[in-house]
Amino acid sequence: MNDPWQHLRGFTAARIALGRAGGSLPTAPLLDFRLSHARAKDAVLAPFDPLDLAEKLSGLHGHPLVLESRALDRATYLRRPDYGRALSQHSRELLEDVDRSADLAIVLSDGLSTRAVMEQAVPLLSALLPLLVKDGWIVAPLCIVRHGRVAIQDEVGGLLGAKLSLMLLGERPGLGSPDSLGAYFTFSPEAGKTDADRNCVSNIRPEGLAPELAARKLHALLTASYRLGLSGIGLKDDTPVMGLGGVTGIEG
């Protein structure tokens, strides 16, 4: 049976106006739902190879550092979020010899979608790093953390003495977005920061916020954060929602 709202499907990817077969969904949308659910599970459980990502990123900003959280395997990472928020002792020691004069520390991790960081990180950083370098930002060596969560960026940024930290990691996959990357940044990072101290640019993927547009938004927000000396709830996003071509950046 056709749904009278079916014409609205042209305006959204949401599962609306699917029709019905008796008291159930028609076969086609039911199978599509199951396929999306399987893709979301795959995104969470897919193995993450940080060395492969490091190779893909090596031409952008030197060779990345490969670190690890206290969660030594995927099962522990999913069951113990606190382990994913802290570096292993060995990784902390690796950062001791890194120069501490950087303006920005960029951290990448698998998070809850390996596919997201593997597919979106390279195009995002390919667009963002030139904008930052052009403005004179000193960017620390890229850090790839296996099994990291958002808050681990504060520990990494603090150990590197960076003025800001930026975390790129796979978001919790939805049924229509198993490849969505999130970008979180913190001014004056140090262990113990809270969600209120961070800003987030979400849904970075070709079908959401395209990586090139996300790079321009992040460039504007990072510049504003640096200039104002704050991040989190005190930092407002003044960039246009649509037509980011109008964003020219904020003088630092």
- Which residues are annotated binding-site positions for adenosylcob(III)alamin? 150, 171, 200
Q: Which residues pair with 106 in a beta bridge?
A: 166
Parallel/antiparallel/unpaired status of strands 164-170 and 65-68: unpaired
Spatial separation of the C-alpha atoms in residues 50 and 68, rounded to whole Å: 9
3-state DSSP: the chain helix, strand, coil percent, rounded to 5?
Answer: 45, 20, 40
Hey, what are 28's tokens? 């086609």
∠ CA 103-54-198, nearest 5°, is 40
Spatial separation of the C-alpha atoms in residues 211 and 167, rounded to whole Å: 15
Cβ-based burial of 171 (10 A; exposed 0-12, middle 13-18, buried ≥19) = buried
Hey, what are 193's tokens? 């920061």
